[in-house]
Amino acid sequence: MEEMIERFIKYAKVNTQSKEDSETFPSTEGQIELAKIIKEDLEKINIQATLSEFGYVYAYIPANVERAIPKVGFLAHMDTSPEVSGENVNPRIVENYDGNDILLNKEKNIVLSKEKFPVLKEFVGHDLIVTDGTTLLGADDKAGVVEIIQAIKEIIEGNLPHGDIYIAFTPDEEVGRGVDKIDLSTFKPDFAYTLDGEGYGLFEFENFNAASLRYKIHGINTHPGTAKGAMKNAIKIAQELMFLFPPLETPEATSGYEGFYHFYEINGGVEGVNLKAIIRDHDKNKFQTRKYFAENIANFINDKYGEGTVSIEIKDQYYNMREIIEKNPQIVDIAKKAFEMSGIEFKTKPIRGGTDGARLTYMGIPTPNIFSGGYNYHSIYEFVSIQAMEKAKEIVKNIIKILVES
């Protein structure tokens, strides 16, 4: 366990924030830096690894048994969210958590509160890795990376029987490009699992249908002293446009299978404003309806203020994997048995987000998601349970064992 913790902290300290508007792939140099470290670490444990020009780390462990066994893959992503700083990450271990508030930063009075984050009560007695309150931690998804590495290391060192195992560590998942450049002639399992789930003991095989939404509002700027009849204030139009969306169909007002619209960035001035948003829904028909609604908003604004006032761009990002996973129930059955072997209750819930696995599933490799042990992702309050990481690692080993014995 100690080796896994040390590896996680080493990886967490590398700033791998991805960048949405970057024109490079991967979007940031820090991801290449970590990819090189991971490749070296894999080679140190006698796993042949390759680093692609696009920042993917691939590894293949050939079967050491003669009979045919399904080929399995494991994935995790190396980047962290652009939403919160990933620079100068300073992880700290809270041993034998006692259930009380955790002071993350005394100077700034930043507290991981048991009232605000009641999930903490589930981790009394666990050892937690937390932030110093100024950055995210990076458990999303460096916890998944180290769990996979440690599991495979123990399989190799123990000379345990296994079939063909494929590993891929991906860049730019947080900006929706995690499998844009993946090489399916190198990563070619029959099915796979991502270790990228928030929570402890969760298995996820359904997720949002997702689209990005961009509005560009074109205004007319003139001197405010002589603006009557001439100025068209893009800021005011942007405000009006956003208020046309249902106020209770937002992330902070929805849960479970409820979809939403989420405006997350606005910039500009009187002459022009850019709005960025996302559209999410588990139901395919409702997802399409949401996109039509967003288009109709643009049409309404253009009818009111003149053609060309608003331009809109909607791009599908990923789709709900459930439709395909349900046609391959053995993948879920294997995971369920692996959880049981690890002494963990098998719990499922819909992902209110997406993973590389969602897109891979539609590329021909069904890929549901296993928890990695972290909570409060994309936040200065992010933490991970060391015991949960250990269990996630066990599940990877158990999946491989089940495939050999089945």
**What pLDDT does 71 receive?**
98
- Both 52 and 201 in one domain: the answer is yes
Average pLDDT over residues 250-278: 97
Q: Which of 79, 132, 172, 281 is catalytic?
A: 79
- pLDDT over threshold 90, residue 108: yes
User: Residue 104 pLDDT > 90, yes or no?
Assistant: yes
221 and 166 co-located in one domain: no
Q: Is the pLDDT score of 1 beyond 80?
A: no
Q: Are residues 14 and 98 in the same domain?
A: yes
pLDDT of residue 354: 84
- Asked if residue 266 has pLDDT above 90, the reply is yes
Same domain, 161 and 117: yes
Known catalytic residue: 79?
yes
Query: Over the stretch 132-180, which tens digit does the pLDDT of each residue have?
Result: 999 999 999 999 999 999 999 999 999 999 999 999 999 999 998 999 9
**What is the model's pLDDT at position 284?**
96
pLDDT of residue 199: 83
Percent of the chain at pLDDT exceeding 70: 100
Pick the last residue of a domain from 317, 338, 353: 317
d(CA 295, CA 313): 9
pLDDT in the model for residue 249: 98
Q: Supply the CATH number for residue 250's domain.
A: 3.30.70.360
Handedness of CA 109, 110, 114, 117 (dihedral sign): positive
Q: Are residues 214 and 355 in the same domain?
A: no
CA distances from residue 330 to 39, 190, 224, 334, 372 in whole angstroms, order as listed: 32, 12, 67, 6, 21
Report pLDDT for 355: 84
pLDDT value for 21: 86
CB burial class (10 A; 0-12, 13-18, 19+) of residue 45?
Answer: middle
Same domain, 141 and 250: no
> Does 121 share its domain with 156?
yes
If asked whether residues 76 and 50 sit together in one domain, one would say yes
Per-residue pLDDT reduced to its tens digit, 9-41: 999 999 999 998 899 999 999 999 999 999 999
Q: What is the pLDDT of residues 270-320, one digit of tens each?
A: 999 999 999 999 999 999 999 999 999 999 999 999 999 999 999 999 999
Give, in order, the Cα–Cα distances in Å from 284 to each of 40, 210, 281, 389.
Answer: 42, 10, 7, 34
CB 298 within 8 A of CB 288: no
Task: Give the end of a domain, one of 317, 343, 376.
Answer: 317
Domain of 108 in residue numbering reads as: 2-207+320-405
Residue 173 designated active-site:
yes
Residue 20 is predicted with a pLDDT of 87
Residue 205 binned pLDDT confidence (cut-offs 50, 70, 90): very high
What is the count of structural domains for the chain?
A: 2
Give the SS3 label for residue 253. helix
Q: How far is CA 333 from CA 192, 326, 393, 400, in A?
A: 13, 11, 18, 13
Q: Is residue 271 located within the same domain as residue 400? A: no
Long-range contacts of 95-103 (CB under 8 A, 24+ apart): 95/127, 96/125, 96/126, 96/127, 97/123, 97/124, 97/125, 97/126, 97/127, 97/128, 98/124, 99/124, 102/128, 102/130
pLDDT in tens, 328-382: 999 999 999 999 999 999 999 999 988 899 999 999 999 999 999 999 999 999 9
Residue tagged active-site, from 140, 147, 172, 173: 173
Last residue of a domain, one of 275, 295, 317: 317
